[in-house]
Amino acid sequence: MKALILAAGRGERLQPITDTRPKPLIPILCKPLIEWIIRTIENTRLVDEVIIVVSYLKEKIINHINSLNVDLKIKFVDQGSELGTGDAVIKGLSNIKDIDEDVLIIYSDIFLSDWSVLRDIAVIDDNVIVGYYSPNPSNYGVLLIENGLLKSIVEKPEKPLSNLINTGIYKLRIRDILENKDVETSSRGEIEFTDIINNIVKHSRIRVLDISNRTKWIDIGLPWNIIDANKIALESLCENSIKSIVEENVTIKPPVYIGEGSIIRSGSYIEGPVYIDRGVEIGPNARIRPYSVICSGSRIGFSVEVKESIIMENVHISHLSYVGDSIVCENTNFGAGTITANLRFDEKTVSVNIKGRRVDSGRRKLGAIIGGYVKTGIHVSIMPGVKIGSYSWISPGAVVKHDIPSKSFVKTEVNYFIDTLHNEIFDE
């Protein structure tokens, strides 16, 4: 059996996070989404080849996968122009000789709390599509079924007839896909894989496997979904696993994972569930609150408080700062006294600008979404739900109330304006 991982999308709704990393490399417990999938496939011992369809920032994906040292044959296919999931599947399967084989197809922007369900899917002797019950089915493709078999997929219906949605996991005969690949392009000019599925069910049966009672499933389509997915993953921690140096007068309340080469300095207080990767420095006198993830090479310094946030690689938050319900991408540096506000005065849910449209996060507490390589000066305040684009600089004392584009310089506290920094600054 083959496995096909779709990893070509740009993830525009996830900007600025995806300015500097492709969506499949978004970390859950500091491990990229696609690595969770690859490791699970390796453990099934049922797949003889993995095909990964790439496009946007493809070199980063290829380099990461090649560094994993997995016992799998892996092939990369460049989709080129990103013309939809159906186009990606067709290109991924184009050079397979035995089309009577099965293929396990997985979107690389999903997360499961229990990945072992992939093995259960792989051993089913039939075409399979995986479903999951969602309270908001209108945001997804809805599965219409009869006697356990798929009748059709309806994309984002206004009035859904079911709460069972498409998870982006399939096991199908390659022949069934290729013989039903001729579909009309969507209004976006793309070939949708769900249209190919709707063609297949006219001629062949597809079983529906509902995994709602087996695992939690999250689509990583919006920034706060990353916080949600990490929270689910953190719930799997059961006890302390500490492989680091811990100085005197440190309090660690389980479950907390701390990787090799890290150091927890005196006076720090860590309350699990918390995941701290290798080579991280915490403290002195830092507070790490539940559901926080801090990735390799980062430094959380004196009197810094981190609460339910994702701190990616090589981030420096050196002193006297608060990071709550936020995402801070790689190589960002906070000046002393930088504060991410996470609660509106009226305590209503926080909305975020997504591709020019305000989207309600459904979260009463949501802080900042900060891209990679950002620098803030001292005493910077960032309001709830604000996004700061990658490579931007925020001058001391600024109060950031609105989204900041990438490669911008916020100059003043009130009625500020934005200058695009000279390109030579970013030539590296």
Rounded to whole angstroms, how far apart are CA atoms 74 and 3? 9
For the chain, give the percent of residues with pLDDT over 70: 96
Whether 97 shows a pLDDT value over 60: the answer reads yes
Q: Measuring CA to CA, how many Å separate 78 from each of 3, 83, 85, 381?
A: 16, 12, 13, 42
Is the confidence at residue 403, as pLDDT, over 70?
yes
What are the pLDDT digits (tens) for 200-212? 999 999 999 999 9
Strands 74-78 and 327-328: unpaired
pLDDT of residue 49: 96
Residues in the chain: 428
- The tally of CA atoms less than 13 A away on the side-chain side of residue 64 is 23
Which residue is listed with tokens 């680091």? 244
| Model confidence pLDDT, tens digit, residues 255-267 | 999 999 999 999 9
* Dist. CA 411–CA 110, nearest whole Å: 38
**The pLDDT of residue 414:** 46
d(Cα 4, Cα 299) in Å, to the nearest integer? 37
Q: Which amino acid is at 58?
A: K
Mean pLDDT of the chain: 94
pLDDT score of 330 more than 50:
yes
Least confident segment among 115-119, 328-332, 391-395: 115-119
**Mean pLDDT along residues 379-408:** 97
Taking the C-alpha atoms of residue 334 and residue 320, their distance in angstroms, rounded to an integer, is: 10
Q: Is the model's pLDDT at 114 over the cut of 70?
A: yes
Instruction: Write out the H or E segment, with its range, that includes residue 174.
Output: helix 174-178
The predicted model gives 382-405 an average pLDDT of 97
Confidence of residue 426 (pLDDT cuts 50, 70, 90): low
| CATH, range 234-426 | 2.160.10.10
Task: Give residues with Cβ within 8 angstroms of 95, minimum separation 6.
Answer: none
**pLDDT of 188:** 85
Q: 198 in helix, strand or coil? A: helix
Statement: residue 422 has pLDDT above 60: no
The confidence score (pLDDT) of residue 186 equals 85
Per-residue model confidence (pLDDT) at position 82:
84
Q: Reduced to 3 states, what is the DSSP secondary structure of residue 421?
A: coil
pLDDT of residue 423: 56
| Cα dihedral: 353, 359, 365, 368 (round 10) | -20
What pLDDT digit, counting tens, does each position of 144-183 carry?
999 999 999 999 999 999 999 999 999 999 999 999 998 9
Angstrom distance (rounded) from CA 176 to CA 102: 10
Find out whether 166 and 131 touch, Cβ atoms under 8 Å.
Answer: yes
Kindly report, residue by residue over 43-92, the tens digit of the pLDDT: 999 999 999 999 999 999 999 999 999 999 999 999 988 889 999 999 99
Whether the pLDDT of residue 236 is over 50: the answer is: yes
Residue 239: the pLDDT is 86
**397 three-state secondary structure:** coil
Residue 195: its H or E element = helix 193-200
| Residue 81, pLDDT score | 86
Q: Where are the domains of the chain?
A: 2-220, 234-426
DSSP lists the bridge partners of residue 150 as: 145
pLDDT at 343 over 80: yes
Cα 117–119–120 angle (5° rounding)?
65
CA atoms of 8 and 10, how far apart (whole Å) = 7
CA dist 260 and 252 (Å) reads 16
Superfamily of domain 2-220: Spore Coat Polysaccharide Biosynthesis Protein SpsA; Chain A (3.90.550.10)
Q: Kindly report, residue by residue over 299-318, the tens digit of the pLDDT.
A: 999 999 999 999 999 999 98
Q: Which helix (H) or strand (E) holds 85?
A: helix 85-93
pLDDT range class, residue 418, cuts 50, 70, 90 = low
